Structure 1
Amino acid sequence: MNQQVANKVNSLAVSAYKALGTFLLVLILMSFIMYLGMQGFFLVSEGWVVPTVISPTDPEILQLNSQIAQQAAARDKLLAERRDVQSRLANAERTVTAEQEFQERFQTALSSERASRAQALQRLSALRRESHHVRDEIAESSKAFAGLARVRNNTLHEARLLDKEAYLTSNYQLAQMAQSNLTLAEHTVDLENRLDGLKRELLGLDSVRGRSPSQRNQMTTAALLLEREYTRSVLEQARAENTRSVLREDLQALDEAITRYSKLLKTIRDSPYLRAFEGNLTVAFVPYDNLDDAFPGTPLYACMAKLVWCHQVGVVGQVQEGEVSVKHPIRQHFVRGVMVELQLQDGLSVREELLHLGQPPLML
């Protein structure tokens, strides 16, 4: 009796083990077939999209915002440098203009001063010639008159026809005449000195203008000071022009760098992730191979187990500019594509792992 019970228990255990093994084998086989079918379907299918939920803590959003902050800070720094360079360039421009005006006015003033000195020299030269002529006539007349008066006075005084007071008065007048001649000689010397001074001033002015090497050897102290001021102005202008040239190159380089940063910022801000996040859009990733089927208005279907028991959940909206790269939902490699706007009937559909374009994949 016990033996029969044991045999029955063993038989049931063996049958149960065989049934379990058969069930597991069928399950494994079905899983394998479903895996191969899924792989085969996505190998040839071009009608699926991957919904994307974008949140403020999304790694892509955080990375893009970080890049925007970094690039904006770098561009703002360049803009500050550009303002500084522009200010220095404007100062250099003003310096060049001021020095050029000074040099032009210096040359005008120098020419005017030389013309004035030349006219004065011409007038003094004419006055000197007249003075020499008058001086010679006065000297000759004074000499003749003094000699005759002295002989006459001596003769009259010896003949006692001229008293002592008249004699002394006559001699005093002759002494005054001699003094007048001496004063006239002093005036002549003073006139000569003024003429020499004007000639030296003219030579000095000509030496500043640098007409010839021989004239530059006639430099006076006043002319030397004038030339130093003019040379200082020329050097300051040259220094300002060099600074201006360098600052213009710096400004051009800064403008090019700012343009590059602006383009980079625009590229980052035009990222589909960022524009979708800032515009509160519901989006999905579409590989380039599937893009022809993702035109606006295309119906979207969500399915159980990715392929069966499907129902429409919305339609496709506008395609977003810019390329993105996303991992394939089945084959786990990255594929390139774009983002499209989704118009879903409910907010839960965006959580689906993938949606199908146009119609259910198996028409179920």
Structure 2
Amino acid sequence: MQPRSSRPRFWIALQPSIVRIYKMAGLVALTAILVGLVGFLIINIFYFFDHTWVRPVVLSPTYQRVVEASTQLADSKLRASQLATEKLEVEGQLLELERVIAADDTFIAEVGSAADAPRSGDQWLLRRELEKTRLEKENMAGKRVPLGQRIDSLKLRIKDQDAVVNRLAQSPYLKAIDNKVTLAFVANQNLKNVKIGTPIYGCAWGLVWCHKVGTVKAVLDGEV
């Protein structure tokens, strides 16, 4: 009588198949790693030597830079409004000053020489009022130049602030306040190859399965 085997014949027969499966799985994994490494090297070499690639970015209303651009524009507009209000106030002060000077000139002209040699009490009072009016006129006239210089300074500041507002308003980030916007950020060394009408291609994976996705519609400062 023969002794019974400690292992079922089924597992003994299956062992070679399991070994082959392990070898095939290892070969597939090694091949995948090798393909991934080669693909990684090819992509990096391509981006290093090629100067026609761009990086797509989808901007949404909640994108951080969109929020920052919107806030900066609002702050700049508020500052421009404050400067314009300050200019109006100073211009109002200058107009009020001119009215006071005009009234003083009228009073001085009406009095004329009547108070040059006062004799009565009324004439002395009139002379005193005349001197006060002349002093007030001189003080007001002395404020003309500073107020005029302040207005000129405010005009320059308003002009500069308006330029800042206009520059910020051209930011592509503001286009994404209401809707999503797709932009292509271009590296500085690639800008010379980007022009209006240049076709843009997108790839499904790395440099594989590429197809045309659009064209350059406008070239912005450092961005497309």
- Who is 2:47 aligned against? 42
Equivalent residue for 2:223, pick from 334, 338, 353: 338
Q: Tell me, in whole angstroms, the C-alpha distance in 1 between the residues paired with 2:74 and 2:157.
A: 17
Equivalent residue for 1:267, pick from 164, 167, 178: 167
SS class of match (2:218):
strand
In structure 2, the CA distance between the partners of 1:254 and 1:205, relative to structure 1 (3 Å rule), is closer
Q: Tell me, in whole angstroms, the C-alpha distance in 1 between the residues paired with 2:134 and 2:27.
A: 105
Per-residue CA distance 1:193-216 (angstroms, 9 max, x = gap):
xxxxxxxxxxx844x6xxxxxxxx
The residue identity in structure 1 corresponding to 2:213 is V
Aligned length: 219
The residue identity in structure 2 corresponding to 1:44 is F
- Who is 2:157 aligned against? 257
- Who is 1:193 aligned against? none
Per-residue CA distance 1:320-345 (angstroms, 9 max, x = gap):
3x2xxxxxxxxxxxxxx322xxxxxx
Q: Tell me, in whole angstroms, the C-alpha distance in 1 between the residues paired with 2:63 and 2:204.
A: 27
Q: Tell me, in whole angstroms, the C-alpha distance in 2 between the residues paired with 1:236 and 1:293.
A: 70
Per-residue CA distance 1:193-248 (angstroms, 9 max, x = gap):
xxxxxxxxxxx844x6xxxxxxxxxx764543232112111221123223433432
Per-residue CA distance 1:261-318 (angstroms, 9 max, x = gap):
2111111101133358789976422222222222233233222313123233333333
The answer as to 2:187 corresponding to 1:287 is yes
RMSD (Å) for aligned C-alpha atoms: 3.1
- Who is 2:132 aligned against? 232
Write out aligned runs for 1:176-215 (5 A).
Answer: 205-206=116-117
Q: Tell me, in whole angstroms, the C-alpha distance in 1 between the residues paired with 2:200 and 2:206.
A: 13
Given that residues 61 and 179 in structure 2 are in contact (C-alpha distance below 8 angstroms), is that contact kept between their aligned partners in structure 1? no
Given that residues 276 and 283 in structure 1 are in contact (C-alpha distance below 8 angstroms), is that contact kept between their aligned partners in structure 2? no
Structure 2: 5+ residue stretches without partners: none
Q: Tell me, in whole angstroms, the C-alpha distance in 2 between the residues paired with 1:35 and 1:313.
A: 24
Equivalent residue for 2:141, pick from 224, 241, 250: 241
Higher helix fraction (1 or 2): 1
1:259 Cα offset (Å) = 2.0
In structure 2, the CA distance between the partners of 1:279 and 1:27, relative to structure 1 (3 Å rule), is closer
The residue identity in structure 2 corresponding to 1:338 is E
Given that residues 46 and 293 in structure 1 are in contact (C-alpha distance below 8 angstroms), is that contact kept between their aligned partners in structure 2? yes
Between 75-84 and 88-97, report the one with greater CA deviation.
75-84
Q: Tell me, in whole angstroms, the C-alpha distance in 2 between the residues paired with 1:61 and 1:36.
A: 34
- Who is 1:69 aligned against? 74
In structure 2, the CA distance between the partners of 1:296 and 1:308, relative to structure 1 (3 Å rule), is same
Deviation beyond 6 Å, 4+ runs, structure 1: 276-281
Write out aligned runs for 1:1-364 (5 A).
Answer: 1-3=5-7, 5=9, 6-106=11-111, 109-110=112-113, 205-206=116-117, 221-274=121-174, 283-320=183-220, 322=221, 337-339=222-224
SS class of match (2:210):
strand
Structure 1: 5+ residue stretches without partners: 114-203, 209-218, 323-336, 340-364
Q: Tell me, in whole angstroms, the C-alpha distance in 1 between the residues paired with 2:179 and 2:22.
A: 60
Q: Tell me, in whole angstroms, the C-alpha distance in 2 between the residues paired with 1:280 and 1:27.
A: 37
Between 301-310 and 6-15, report the one with greater CA deviation.
6-15
In structure 2, the CA distance between the partners of 1:295 and 1:276, relative to structure 1 (3 Å rule), is farther
Given that residues 116 and 127 in structure 2 are in contact (C-alpha distance below 8 angstroms), is that contact kept between their aligned partners in structure 1? no
Normalised by the length of structure 1, the TM-score is 0.52
The residue identity in structure 2 corresponding to 1:270 is Q
Normalised by the length of structure 2, the TM-score is 0.79
